[in-house]
Amino acid sequence: MNDLIKELEDIVGAQHVQTTGDLGRFEEDWRKRAKGKALAVVSPKNTFEVCEIVKACLRTKVSIVPQGGNTSMVVGAIPNDTGTQVLLSLTRMNQVRSIDKDNLTIIVEAGCVLQQVQQVAEREGFLFPLSLGSQGSCTIGGNLSTNAGGTQVVRYGNARELCLGLEVVTASGDVWHGLSGLRKDNTGYDLRNLYIGSEGTLGIITAATLKLYPLPAAKLTAWAAAPNIESAVKLLGLAHKTLGPSLSGFEMMGQFALSLVDKHFPQLNVPLWKNSAYCVLLEASDNESEEHARSQFENLMQTALEDEIITDAVIAESIAQAKALWLIRENITMAQATEGLNIKHDISIPVSRIADFVESTDNLITQKIKGAAIVNFGHLGDGNLHYNVQAPVGVDYKDFLRIHEHDINTLVYDSVKEFGGSISAEHGVGSLKVDTLKDYKDPTALNLMRTIKLALDPTNLMNPGRLINDQYSR
């Protein structure tokens, strides 16, 4: 192994190969669910260096775990605990390569932090719409490798829809130069969409061509109180009808989720939560004018109040007020983390079946474990719930997970299956769901995935054990 370390040092420079010291931020996952041990943390500066690293690892049969901002929710980006894997950190590859204003595209390297890309786009007069609570630290490479969703999907789509091209270092150390910003190209298999969402298991994304949009003329945000989940779903239908394509955000937050924000971040002044089972955060991005957006929004709220779909609402009067409302939504994850570990379920259900799913699954959980708290919130506009379960008051969180995690997962995922949903809507599979996937995904689809993995990474060099594992062998 010393020979490999020496070779890696020759490729990237000794200061960019770390084998000792505090490697915690690379080796422990964001949720503190697992801690691994890397043979070395290697940080290349360009695509050529990534190729050389892959070739060196291939020769010595040392597997590679690509990592961006290490904000994975499913333990997908840290090494295992054997001390035999190379952790490839992409964060030094953080250059914006070019902007093409006529083509509405920007080419960025994989290690660019999402917020940095949003800011560069805005300085140039454009919108890059991908928005996540982790945007200050997650990277474009991580966003694409997980096909991240976030809070603007209802209008602009997932990371996949925002990407026109990729540059990828394959598992054999070749470069696929696929950065062309074409909106039409029917010359064969869709390699771009194969690598997007592959969680580092097929190759390393080193750069991407992303779509830009004109900045909207006006953005409005509102916060509404809904008496039950059915009403929140009804409000979504009304919002689609009234706002049409202007609807850019539709987030739902259950009362218990908001109580955690209130408990841990009281300075955020959560509105309307005490007397309503659910609150909804809506956003309209209007291409006409502030007046147009406001009249549409007021119309929507008026109808929703008259039809008793909502019980109360506030429309933000300034950008500062809108930001304050978004901050509440974005801090639910941090409030949960401050409270302690919980059992996360990032699921999607057809919107038409969400109300029945929630009612039925809430009942099953509370019957099974008295006092269990359900932290239900998420991107209702996309049919994506973060349906998390927390220990009853007074029960140690770690004990709760040890004793109940498997059974609660089975209960929730069986229910997801019954309602025609998916067990991972946006966070991916990583290590946490890899064993569960085989029970909920179509066996033919799994076989095809395994065939693709074997074809593109025959030696299992790339992030082994994540997303797809050996148990899928025929």
Interface with ligand FAD (CB under 6 A): 30, 65-73, 76-77, 90, 110, 132-134, 138-139, 141-143, 145-146, 148-150, 199-200, 204-205, 333, 426-427, 463, 466
Pick 388 or 409: Cβ nearer ligand 2HG: 388
Cα–Cα distance, 457 to 350 (Å, whole number)? 34
Q: How far is the CB of 31 from ligand FAD (least distance, A)?
A: 8
DSSP 8-state class, residue 379: E
Choosing from 83, 133, 181, 271, the residue that interacts with ligand 2HG (CB under 6 A) is 133
Cα–Cα distance, 272 to 80 (Å, whole number)? 44
Cα–Cα distance, 139 to 253 (Å, whole number)? 26
Q: How far is the CB of 449 from ligand FAD (least distance, A)?
A: 15
The residue to which tokens 């998420």 are assigned: 378
> Binding of ligand 2HG at residue 333 (CB under 6 A)?
yes
Binding region for ligand 2HG (CB under 6 A) out of 190-198, 252-260, 298-306, 332-340: 332-340
Pick 301 or 335: Cβ nearer ligand FAD: 335
CB-based closest residue to ligand 2HG: 333
> Binding of ligand 2HG at residue 83 (CB under 6 A)?
no
Name which of ligand FAD, ligand 2HG, none residue 90 binds, using a CB cut-off of 5 to 8 Å depending on partner kind. Answer: ligand FAD
Q: How far is the CB of 133 from ligand 2HG (least distance, A)?
A: 5
Cα–Cα distance, 45 to 421 (Å, whole number)? 40
Name which of ligand 2HG, ligand FAD, none residue 326 binds, using a CB cut-off of 5 to 8 Å depending on partner kind. Answer: none
Pick 234 or 386: Cβ nearer ligand FAD: 386
Pick 384 or 415: Cβ nearer ligand 2HG: 384
Q: How far is the CB of 122 from ligand 2HG (least distance, A)?
A: 22
Pick 344 or 433: Cβ nearer ligand 2HG: 344
Percent helix / strand / coil, the chain, rounded to 5: 40, 20, 35
Tokens of 199: 């969680």
Cα–Cα distance, 16 to 306 (Å, whole number)? 62
The burial of 274, by beta-carbon neighbours within 10 Å (0-12 exposed, 13-18 middle, 19 or more buried), is given as exposed
Name which of ligand 2HG, ligand FAD, none residue 142 binds, using a CB cut-off of 5 to 8 Å depending on partner kind. Answer: ligand FAD
Cα–Cα distance, 235 to 232 (Å, whole number)? 5
Q: Maximum CA pair distance of the chain?
A: 73
Name which of ligand FAD, ligand 2HG, none residue 466 binds, using a CB cut-off of 5 to 8 Å depending on partner kind. Answer: ligand FAD
Cα–Cα distance, 312 to 85 (Å, whole number)? 54
Say how many residues touch ligand 2HG, by CB under 6 A: 8
> Binding of ligand 2HG at residue 344 (CB under 6 A)?
yes
Cα–Cα distance, 301 to 242 (Å, whole number)? 10
DSSP 8-state class, residue 35: B
Sort strands 175-178 and 218-226 into parallel, antiparallel or unpaired. unpaired
Cα–Cα distance, 199 to 195 (Å, whole number)? 8
Pick 246 or 333: Cβ nearer ligand FAD: 333
Pick 116 or 259: Cβ nearer ligand FAD: 116
> Binding of ligand 2HG at residue 331 (CB under 6 A)?
no
Site for ligand 2HG in 384-413 (CB under 6 A): 386, 388
Name which of ligand 2HG, ligand FAD, none residue 260 binds, using a CB cut-off of 5 to 8 Å depending on partner kind. Answer: none
The residue to which tokens 């009853």 are assigned: 392
Other Cβ atoms within 10 Å of 329 Cβ, number = 25
Name which of ligand 2HG, ligand FAD, none residue 69 binds, using a CB cut-off of 5 to 8 Å depending on partner kind. Answer: ligand FAD
Name which of ligand FAD, ligand 2HG, none residue 344 binds, using a CB cut-off of 5 to 8 Å depending on partner kind. Answer: ligand 2HG
Which residues contact residue 264 at a Cβ distance below 8 angstroms, ignoring those fewer than 6 apart?
Answer: 334, 335, 338, 339
The residue to which tokens 């302690």 are assigned: 340
- Give which of 231, 167, 174 is closest to 205, Cα–Cα: 167
Choosing from 63, 201, 206, 336, the residue that interacts with ligand 2HG (CB under 6 A) is 336
> Binding of ligand 2HG at residue 209 (CB under 6 A)?
no
The residue to which tokens 């096909």 are assigned: 147
Name which of ligand FAD, ligand 2HG, none residue 141 binds, using a CB cut-off of 5 to 8 Å depending on partner kind. Answer: ligand FAD
Strand ordering across the sheet containing 373-379 = 312-315, 218-226, 278-286, 247-254, 373-379, 384-390, 346-348
The residue to which tokens 């062998």 are assigned: 473
Name which of ligand 2HG, ligand FAD, none residue 388 binds, using a CB cut-off of 5 to 8 Å depending on partner kind. Answer: ligand 2HG
Applying CB under 6 A, the residues found at the interface with ligand 2HG are 133, 332-333, 336, 344, 378, 386, 388
